[in-house]
Chain A
Amino acid sequence: MTAVEFKKVDIVFGDNQQEAIPMVDAGKTREEILEKTGCVLGVADGSIKIEEGEICVLMGLSGSGKSTLLRAVNGLNKVTRGEVLVRDGDDLIDVASCDAKTLRHMRMERVSMVFQQFALLPWRTVSENVGLGLELKGMPKAEREAIVEEKLKMVSLDQWKDKYAHELSGGMQQRVGLARAFATDADILLMDEPFSALDPLIRDHLQDELLELQRNLKKTIVFVSHDLDEALKIGTHIAIMEGGRIVQYGEPEEIVLNPANEYVAEFVAHMNPLNVLRCASLMTPVSDLRKDGDRVILDKYDAFKVALDSKGAVQKVTFEDKEELPVFSFEADHSLDDIPDCNIVTASPEITMKRAIELRQSTGNPVLLSEEGVLVGVVGDEEIYQGILRQSSIADAAE
């Protein structure tokens, strides 16, 4: 079910909007529009559909319009033209055109926001800050306290509830910001570079925490970031923005494998592929492997050979035609320590490149990839090198 949908959204800042809109339609750049009309183009023709439970990351350089698009969802920025549909029960409400009362309802019950600089009220304690949204709704104090307590526990700050914001570290302050956003039980969470003001270690930690919370709470998150690694780590979908326009929208791997233009390629060139590339796009498929009679050869030295049954399942793996290697089926909940020595591993083609490298290193053997018991491909040293090299060839192309 759609949670948020942007439909041909244009956002123009300035007084001369009537004149600017036709220029937006003509596909003029932000600079041209600014020079001619004095208006700043925030977002042009933005269309994305975000499903419930997704984490959609808006990505782009500074000034590309990420915040502007995000803030249209709760009406902090006014939409010049187009619709921003936000789910409310069975309805989709157009927050760009709804009345003040409806907008207020959406802000109180449906959408909450986390800010880059935390935006905590300095004269309030941590728990008073977390209770802000509930207080504005008019919830009585006693009722509020129970919820605040619960949300503070969730971000493990219950010990700190009577402290003031400035007594907390940046990472803790942002956890307060998170708790405040969770407190109203809104299903849609807007996060404008929530971790950018934090140092890398804390940032990484909070990203993990957010993903963990997301697994349990199943919110729909619209997340702004200028860091592709962050976007790839937490996003289920990524929209890349340039000069107010969305230049590419898709799943992380799609963006990494097929950057839509130079600008996206430039971003991709500087990211770390290990967590993003999946073995499915890395492997040599079974059909491309050489054969030795009935057996499939896994590597270029003819060392590993696999015998398959009629359906294509792995039956027997031999090393240098003498030794038989036991096959271990590596599932998502296994750890590397679970693999017995001298085994060859089969895993899902959905595992990341990082995981494949770990498996390759831990077993010393290529990694077999099978789907529903059928061998679909293999990832060995060759494939891993190629994965890394493809990355650097994109980087070379972008430079």
Chain B
Amino acid sequence: MSGIEQWLVDHKIPVGKWGESFFDFLIDNFAGFFDAITDGGSFLIDGTVDMLLFIPSIVLIILITGLAQYLQRTWKLSLFVFLSLLFIVNLGYWTETIESLVLVVYATVVCMITGVPLGIAAAHRPWLYSLLRPVLDLLQTIPTFVYLIPAMTLFGLGMVPALVATVIFAVAAPVRLTHLGVSSVPKPLIEAAESFGATKKQLLWKVEIPYALPTIMAGVTQCIMLSLSMVVIGALVGASGLGKPVVRALNSRQIDMGIEAGLAIVVVAILLDRLCKQRNAPVDGA
């Protein structure tokens, strides 16, 4: 028995080496490409953060409260948004909150831009979906730490590798939900449009997307929440934001700092969840 084991150990398959040389290959040949993404990404993210921080916090809080009122139309929620944002300022985590929010928003935008078309394409082509499904499962089951390493290797330290890791983690949700929404359009609705001569494109824009919209929007909400859950992990590859103080507190056993930063994350999570809630229940078909 131990002979076999010894043999196995001696003849190690160099998976790690292969992976490393794959990444080496990528870096050697496409360094320019990854650098461009890194530079462009950080420019965009940092620029947005700087711009938002340039606005006095109280003005921004009022603006966000206004947005809440516009989206949900309940004064109770708006009041809650207003007070909890003030509370974050009071905790001293305003800058970090803005940084995290910007990261979450960009991650969500990237996820939607890639995930929605992919979901639509998969809904129209069953073979594509059967190909995608194991990949999506994999993305959601691999521990997120695992893809921090390649993300860091390719994009260095900072906001961009965190963004990439977040997108990889969260993109499955909009793909799945868009697929679900588009493929559950009732057949008679499609046939009605077809019977009036709708083209594929018209069918998509006038029937499938409007029908699937509530489900797609649920995908946005999920994406936002998943992205937020990556804030702390993102800090491990150097992303600034609310994750940073948490990681620092963990390393230096500063319980008070950990509690406060953790609380800020929870507050942001509740806020985002409430803001994204759909005001109207989705209309059902036919």
Contacts and interface: CB of A to CB of B under 8 A. Distances in A.
**A and B together in one complex:** yes
Interface of A: 74, 76, 104-108, 111-113, 115, 117-123, 132-133, 135-137, 166, 184, 190
Interface in B160-195: 186, 188-189, 191-195
A166 B280 CA distance: 15
B188 A113 contact: no
Contact of A132 (B193, B213, B283): B193
A107 B210 contact: no
A104 B188 contact: no
A104 B286 contact: no
A93 to B, nearest CB: 14
Contacts of B285: 122
B196 A133 contact: yes
Contacts of B198: 136
A117 B196 CA distance: 17
Interface stretch (B48-56, B133-141, B199-207, B270-278): B199-207
Nearest to A108: B197
A123 B280 CA distance: 12
Contacts of A76: 191, 194-195
B155 interface: no
A136 B211 contact: no
Given A108-B196, A122-B286, A135 B206 contact: yes
Interface residues of B, number: 22
A115 B196 contact: no
B187 to A, nearest CB: 9
Contacts, number: 65
Nearest to A109: B197
Q: Helix, strand, loop or mixed for chain A's interface?
A: mixed
B210 A123 contact: yes
Interface string B252-286: 00000000000000000000000000000001111
Nearest to B199: A104
Contact of A137 (B192, B194, B197, B286): B197
A135 B197 CA distance: 10
A88 to B, nearest CB: 13
B286 A119 contact: yes
A136 B192 CA distance: 12
B193 to A, nearest CB: 7
A29 to B, nearest CB: 28
A122 B283 contact: yes
Contacts of B197: 104-108, 133, 136-137
Nearest to B286: A117
Closest 4 CB pairs of A and B: A108-B197, A107-B197, A133-B196, A119-B188
Given A119-B188, A135-B206, A136-B202, A107 B283 contact: no
Contacts of A122: 283-286
13 contacts: A104-B197, A105-B197, A112-B195, A113-B191, A117-B286, A119-B286, A121-B192, A121-B206, A122-B285, A132-B196, A136-B193, A137-B197, A184-B196
Given A123-B283, A135-B206, A115 B194 contact: no
A113 B284 contact: no
Contacts of A74: 195
A299 to B, nearest CB: 56
Contact of B211 (A104, A105, A123): A123
A166 B282 CA distance: 13
A121 to B, nearest CB: 6
Interface string B199-223: 1001000110011010000000000
Contacts of A117: 188, 286
A61 B210 CA distance: 36
A293 B252 CA distance: 130
Nearest to B195: A113
Q: Indicate the member of B192, B207, B283 with the most A CB atoms within 10 Å.
A: B192
Contact of B191 (A104, A119, A135, A166): A119
A115 B202 contact: no
B15 to A, nearest CB: 43
B231 to A, nearest CB: 35
A107 B189 contact: no
Nearest to A190: B195
A111 B210 CA distance: 25
Given A136-B202, A136-B206, A121 B189 contact: yes
Contact of B207 (A104, A106, A121, A133): A121
B279 to A, nearest CB: 15
Contacts of A115: 188, 191-192
Contacts of B211: 121, 123
Given A107-B196, A132-B196, 12 more contacts: A76-B191, A107-B195, A119-B189, A119-B191, A121-B206, A122-B283, A123-B210, A135-B206, A136-B198, A136-B202, A166-B283, A184-B196
A112 B196 contact: yes
Contacts of B207: 121
Q: Indicate the member of B189, B193, B195, B199 with the most A CB atoms within 10 Å.
A: B195
Contacts of A184: 196
Contacts of B188: 115, 117, 119
A375 B33 CA distance: 99
A74 B283 CA distance: 29
A132 B203 CA distance: 11
Nearest to B189: A119
A104 B202 CA distance: 12
A95 to B, nearest CB: 12
Interface string B79-106: 0000000000000000000000000000
A135 B207 CA distance: 13
A266 B182 CA distance: 44
